[in-house]
């Protein structure tokens, strides 16, 4: 006998929720009420949904699975207010990072537990891959962190553990739900999906005219170098990806495309790298986020401040919009490429 799984209520759009409620004889307006409790107020206990009658609360509990997560660990940075959270979803663990800035509140969330790829500079790629998260589990990281803080989240980056385009449907569904006007209503231009270059996902993203920002984790602009540090290069070469983006750049919005570029000493910050990176960035009108490697990892090193500045200068002198991202959350192992689900006390 198979046990039927209840639908996860947090994964449903308002329309899907309404359709299910109506099919069971309930009024359509109930869907908006429930949706707002979940996505706007982040209340997951039906008994606390005070404008719903008791029998309707019973029906919801019977019919749907409600968010079920635990935060196993919290590590706060003593130096920069950032914090890292270890979420557990029935044995699938992921990390998420709280990143306060002066004029915005960002968070970085995960889409998979571990990652099926293995970029050589990234700690996530070294741990066991436990699979995709559901949209509800992706959202639970957002809402779980929002419940902790008074400060409203303004920016969400899908740049934690995992490759969003290997979990495309759930990642886009989660983005749609946090942007929903009856939910957190986060501006779509402040939601960023980051991909290592999964071409079928990029094609779909553009064909569907998704409104979110797209960050391409480039990290090298010569195929031999890129193959050395990113195994995705074997499957989808960056040249194929960039050529596709060049052909379709007109279908994207101004400012929608970014390159992420991790700076690794002795590997990808030579003058040739700067020249090629600048050429592609200008061709594709892409802003470049430079991310100095955060620490020593897997035999790779962070460049000196002088080298970091010099590489940045070479891009800017070629009229590229390049930002040298500081490395927030560095001291709590929460910066780019450092999420590995370790418990840091
Ligand atoms: S950098 Fe991203 S794609 Fe590469 S192993 Fe880490 S999580 Fe996966």
pLDDT tens digit sequence for 212-256: 999 999 999 999 999 999 999 999 999 999 999 999 999 999 999
What residues line ligand 1, using a CB cutoff of 6 Å? Answer: 115, 117-119, 122, 124-125, 161-163, 196, 337
Quick one: DSSP state of residue 33?
H
Please give the share of the chain, as a percent, with pLDDT higher than 70. 94
Contact 236, 244 (CB under 8 A): no
Q: pLDDT value at position 298?
A: 83
Residues carrying CATH 1.10.150.530, the chain: 9-63
CATH class of the domain at 9-63: mainly alpha
pLDDT digits (tens, 9 = 90+) for 5-18: 899 999 999 999 99
Rounded to the nearest angstrom, the distance between the alpha carbon of 115 and the centre of ligand 1 is 6
Indicate whether 342 pLDDT > 70. no
Token pair, residue 44, equals 């997951």
Q: How far apart are the first and last CA of the chain?
A: 44
Nearest to 256 by CA among 316, 206, 290: 206
Residue nearest to atom 4 of ligand 1 (CA): 119
Q: Does domain 70-332 have CATH number 3.20.20.70?
A: yes
pLDDT digits (tens, 9 = 90+) for 275-297: 999 999 999 999 999 999 877 88
Residues carrying CATH 3.20.20.70, the chain: 70-332
Highest mean pLDDT (candidates 4-8, 272-276, 300-304): 272-276
Q: pLDDT value at position 25?
A: 98
Report, as an integer, the average pLDDT of 104-110: 96
Three-state SS at 24: coil
Q: pLDDT value at position 343?
A: 43
Our answer to whether residue 95 is catalytic in this structure is yes
Whole-angstrom distance, CA of residue 264 vs CA of residue 218: 13
Q: pLDDT value at position 345?
A: 30
Q: Pairing mode, if any, of strands 322-324 and 287-292?
A: parallel
CA dihedral 214, 114, 118, 212 (to 10 degrees): 0
pTM for the predicted model, two decimal places: 0.94
Instruction: Kindly give the number of the ligand 1 atom that is closest to the alpha carbon of 336.
Output: 1
Long-range CB contacts for residues 299-302, cutoff 8 Å, separation at least 24? 300/120, 300/121, 300/264, 300/265, 300/267, 301/264, 301/265, 301/266, 302/263, 302/264, 302/265
Report, as an integer, the average pLDDT of 311-334: 84
């Amino acid at each position: 006998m198979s046990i039927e799984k209840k639908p996860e209520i947090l994964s449903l759009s308002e329309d899907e929720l309404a359709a299910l409620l109506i099919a069971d004889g309930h009024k359509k307006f109930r869907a908006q009420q429930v949706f707002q409790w979940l996505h706007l107020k982040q209340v997951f206990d039906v008994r606390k949904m005070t404008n719903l009658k008791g029998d309707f609360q019973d029906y919801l509990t019977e019919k749907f699975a409600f968010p079920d997560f635990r935060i196993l660990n919290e590590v706060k940075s003593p130096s920069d207010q950032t914090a890292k959270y270890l979420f557990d979803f029935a044995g699938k663990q992921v990390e998420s990072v709280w990143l306060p800035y002066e004029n915005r509140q960002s968070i970085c969330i995960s889409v998979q537990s571990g990652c099926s790829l293995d970029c050589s500079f990234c700690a996530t790629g070294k741990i066991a891959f436990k699979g995709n998260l559901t949209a509800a589990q992706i959202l639970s990281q957002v809402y779980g962190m929002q419940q902790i803080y008074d400060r409203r989240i303004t920016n969400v980056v899908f740049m934690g553990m995992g490759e969003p385009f290997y979990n495309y449907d759930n990642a886009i569904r989660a983005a749609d739900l946090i942007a929903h006007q009856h939910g957190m209503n986060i501006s779509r231009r402040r939601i960023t999906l980051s991909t290592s270059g999964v071409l079928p996902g990029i094609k779909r993203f553009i064909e569907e005219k998704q409104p979110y920002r797209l960050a391409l984790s480039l990290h090298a602009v010569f195929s031999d170098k890129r193959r050395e540090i990113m195994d995705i290069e074997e499957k989808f070469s960056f040249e194929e990806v960039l050529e596709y983006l060049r052909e379709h750049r007109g279908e994207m919005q101004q400012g929608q495309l970014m390159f992420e570029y991790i700076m690794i000493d002795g590997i990808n910050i030579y003058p040739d790298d700067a020249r090629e990176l600048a050429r592609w960035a200008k061709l594709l009108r892409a802003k470049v986020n430079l991310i100095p490697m955060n620490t020593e990892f897997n035999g790779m090193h962070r460049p000196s401040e002088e080298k970091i500045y010099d590489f940045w200068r070479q891009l800017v002198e070629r009229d590229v919009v390049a930002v040298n991202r500081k490395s927030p959350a560095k001291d709590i192992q929460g910066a780019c490429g450092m999420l590995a689900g370790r418990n840091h006390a």
